[in-house]
Amino acid sequence: MGEKIVIFDTTLRDGEQSPGASMNVEEKLRVAKQLEKLNVDVIEAGFPMASDGDFEAVEAISKAIEGCEIAALARADITDIDRAWGAVRYAKRPRIHTFIATSDIHLRHKLKKTREQVLEDVVRAVSHAKGYTENVEFSTEDATRSDLEYLCRVIEVAIEAGATTINIPDTVGYTIPSEFSRIIRTIKERVPNIDKATISVHCHNDLGLAVANSLAAIESGARQAECTINGIGERAGNASLEEIVMTIRVRKDLLDFYTDIHTEQIFPVSRLVSTITGMVVQPNKAVVGTNAFAHEAGIHQDGILKEKTTYEIMTPESVGIPKSSLVLGKHSGRHAFREKLGELGYELSSAELDVAFKRFKKVADQKKVVYDEDIMTIVEDEIFRVPDKYKLININVQSGTVTIPTATVQMEVDGKLVQDAGFGDGPVDAALKTIQHITNSKSRLVRFAVAAITGGTDAQGEVTVGIEEDGQTTIGQGASTDIIIASAKAYINALNKLEYRKKRLQGL
């Protein structure tokens, strides 16, 4: 079985730093609950100094989650650490994660500090955090571009001051596996008190090597891996949790380690993160992409039918992909629907179930078969929406080769019926412009993406819309068998989220 690798999930902190991936407090709580089911060891819930929203999310997650350690990030700065503790102190097992850069590039250009000054900051910060909790992690930002001798000195000093986990980030995704192995081995050899701390790694994916580098570090002595669901994160993202975990599991013949991850929860959490952030998982993404278990070539299909292991190194069920993708139809009843929801990781109250079931019946009337993906979209659409200021009542759009695309839209704004009509460059443009006119929104569209959730011309289309106003970005989603309706719903969802966020910022 070998040694345990601690899985530190930073989807809610580094993952949320992906451009456009911001989540509100409720959404973060939903992801945290799913991460608890996945059984990650540590959830990094946010960076409380970064914003009031981050503070609130860390506090809420600390209060709600009991099965995982909760970490809060702070710069190596007293005010930051106080703020982090203020949010994470409610956790059953809190962790303060403090960091400072150690590379000369960062010291010279960003921090404008000498190496000696940084050493002093490390001691001050770690000792201060230690005053709050035994569980202190210290990160040497940009470690892989730091002078190795200095890096070892910083680590030694941090452990002396009380750090129990030392994280070695490849902040800019610069290292390669052989070099990273050497760095970890050198730290183990040269830092005299290294046995008093767990070595952690945190790899970014700028050269597509984040998972390979993390695994190389584990083979060289790291015992904690920092990672995110679907590999989301700053720039090209972080090491993907599902890839690290499944490699350790599938190649246990070579990697004498284990994790406590409940791997059958991987797919539900991947889908949830993708839905909430609007970051679509690429079809050929390892482990969780829609093509990850699809066999196209005749020779492969023949092999799979004869013996699965010919072309499958892990089963779809082992990562939580439901056995068959074709399940419910218009004759399916409430009982089967509830069972399916359970399989997909949803626990709904009976009132919520009523709402979702009604919509399911509508979809089932329009489509011959209702796939798992359709059901997940129905639940997201009907149940987990933010309180609506704007509601779509009716929409009609005319377009064609000779008609100027025209939309007539009826909406409820704060419960009052409002209607308008407008033109556009195409049917979607006409619909969105008319909605913008009705809501008087000053926001601008920063993202528009359409995906067919399932195959066939009767597929449900899922539209993702990103809008921005005064530096606030929100992502909205909408689904329908009609792409214009899906677009209108997605846009209205983004507008509702924006209104909701504005209210929260005003403390309402």
Angle ∠(458,282,45) on CA atoms, nearest 5: 115
Residue 243 touches Zn ion, criterion: CB under 5 A: no
Size of the site for Zn ion (CB under 5 A): 1
Query: Whole-number minimum distance, CB 502 to ligand KIV, in Å?
Result: 29
> Contacting Zn ion (CB under 5 A), which of 11, 12, 14, 225?
14
In 3D space, the residue among 290, 152, 143, 153 whose CA is nearest the CA of residue 230 turns out to be 290
Which residue is associated with the tokens 């452990």? 159
**In this structure, how many other beta carbons lie within 10 angstroms of the beta carbon of residue 178?**
9
**In this structure, how many other beta carbons lie within 10 angstroms of the beta carbon of residue 342?**
11
> How far is residue 112's CA from residue 341's CA, in Å, rounded to a whole number?
54
Query: Whole-number minimum distance, CB 471 to Zn ion, in Å?
Result: 22
Nearer to ligand KIV, 202 or 285 (CB): 202
233: left (phi over 0), alpha (psi -120 to 50) or beta: left
Residues 156-215 that bind ligand KIV (CB under 6 A): 167, 169, 171, 202, 204
Query: Whole-number minimum distance, CB 134 to ligand KIV, in Å?
Result: 20
Nearer to ligand KIV, 121 or 374 (CB): 121
Query: Whole-number minimum distance, CB 126 to ligand KIV, in Å?
Result: 15
In 3D space, the residue among 105, 189, 196, 193 whose CA is nearest the CA of residue 144 turns out to be 105
> How far is residue 193's CA from residue 52's CA, in Å, rounded to a whole number?
37
Q: In what order do the strands lie in the sheet with 406-413?
A: 390-398, 406-413, 416-423
> DSSP string covering 134-188, please?
S-EEEEEETGGGS-HHHHHHHHHHHHHHT-SEEEEEETTS---HHHHHHHHHHHH
Residues 153-192 that bind Zn ion (CB under 5 A): none
Which residue is associated with the tokens 């040694």? 3
Nearer to Zn ion, 9 or 14 (CB): 14
> Contacting ligand KIV (CB under 6 A), which of 8, 55, 99, 257?
99
Nearer to Zn ion, 171 or 270 (CB): 171
Nearer to ligand KIV, 205 or 443 (CB): 205
> How far is residue 87's CA from residue 95's CA, in Å, rounded to a whole number?
11
Q: Applying CB under 5 A, which part among 9-17, 317-325, 329-337, 377-385 lies near Zn ion?
A: 9-17
Nearer to ligand KIV, 103 or 377 (CB): 103
- DSSP class of residue 417? E
Report the helix count and the strand count for the chain, using DSSP H and E.
16, 18
Give yes or no for a contact between 405 and 380, defined as CB atoms under 8 angstroms apart: no
Site string for ligand KIV, 246-265 (x = CB under 6 A): --------------------
At position 25, the amino acid (one-letter code) is V
> Contacting ligand KIV (CB under 6 A), which of 9, 14, 373, 462?
14
Site string for ligand KIV, 123-152 (x = CB under 6 A): ----------------x-x-----------
Nearer to Zn ion, 231 or 476 (CB): 231
Nearer to Zn ion, 14 or 142 (CB): 14
Binding footprint of ligand KIV on the chain (CB under 6 A): 14, 99, 139, 141, 167, 169, 171, 202, 204
Binding footprint of Zn ion on the chain (CB under 5 A): 14
